[in-house]
Structure 1
Amino acid sequence: MAEHRITELLTLLRPYWQQYPDLNLSSVLAQLASEAGFQGSLAEVSDDMLIYQLKMRQEKPEAMIPGLAKDCEPDFKTALLKARGIIK
């Protein structure tokens, strides 16, 4: 895992862990994996899944993924023109 990913994960993990101060790190990670619906071993939990779960856990289920929201266009015509490079 790259250093910037570790920093991002720790930044997101801090407020979550402060809600459950009686849990150790592995318990916190297991709880996050369970919230995300992960059924495998804790060793198989990816950093991407943890970061996504920490970012999206307070959002509504129908909320758009933050990385995709920036590219979303209000109408199809605008999206098509941007994709073809006609407008910026």
Structure 2
Amino acid sequence: MQNQKGFTLMELMVVMVIIGILIGIAVPSYNKVTATAEKRACEANKRTIKGAVQAYILENNGSIENNELDIAELDSFFDGGEVPQMHFS
């Protein structure tokens, strides 16, 4: 029985603690990066929509009738033909 190969319980526990510490560091960093990416995507979408509204106004004699604009009317002003959407998880 002296020549059995394998890991001791203590070795396995140390590995589990190290993995837990690494996960504890990685998850908050990942969440921060994800939140920053979502914020930047929203800012880019706002700039794109602003540009489309300006193009719409220029093509419609410098005004928006009744101060209302149906978002579907802007589709032709976007690459791909539709207004960008932001989906949050």
TM > 0.5: no
Of the two, which has the highest radius of gyration?
2
**The structure with more helix, counted as a fraction of residues:** 2
Provide TM-score, normalisation by structure 2: 0.30
Provide TM-score, normalisation by structure 1: 0.30
